[in-house]
Amino acid sequence: MSIALRTLDDGAWISVNDSRQVSVSDVWTLTTGTFCDCTPAYVLLEAFVDVDVDGSTVVAHAVGQCLECGTRDSIEALPVGRIVNDDFRPYDPEGVQWLVEPDGERT
């Protein structure tokens, strides 16, 4: 069993198993300060560039803009949901998301 992940409609949606699951128009709350200096940062997504799965977590590569300071940048790995028993369980965009660190080793 594999999960089919892709972006649709020029990055407006993330499709999971040929079903539109995550819309780009949500505001996501990011906490780690890697996107901009705001903590938390309220980031309105503009487009999904790519989507991937990291373990059981579905991560999106996206472009977004901070509603407070106006920083517009790419987001390397935004967790948008997870795979449970081959089902997709989306995260609530209004919940606080922790960005996956690119090299997430903490010493």
Report the interface residues with Zn ion, using CB under 5 A. Answer: 36, 38, 41, 66, 68-69, 71
Nearer to Zn ion, 46 or 50 (CB): 46
DSSP state of 52: E
Comparing CA positions, the residue from 65, 64, 56 lying closest to residue 84 is: 56
Nearer to Zn ion, 38 or 53 (CB): 38
Closest contact distance (angstroms) between CB of 41 and Zn ion is 5
Instruction: Report the alpha-carbon distance of residue 82 to residue 68 in Å, rounded.
Output: 28
Instruction: Report the alpha-carbon distance of residue 71 to residue 4 in Å, rounded.
Output: 32
Instruction: Report the alpha-carbon distance of residue 37 to residue 51 in Å, rounded.
Output: 25
Closest contact distance (angstroms) between CB of 98 and Zn ion is 16
Nearer to Zn ion, 58 or 66 (CB): 66
Closest contact distance (angstroms) between CB of 21 and Zn ion is 27
Closest contact distance (angstroms) between CB of 106 and Zn ion is 24
- Residues ≥6 apart with Cβ < 8 Å to 17: 3, 4, 88
Nearer to Zn ion, 25 or 39 (CB): 39
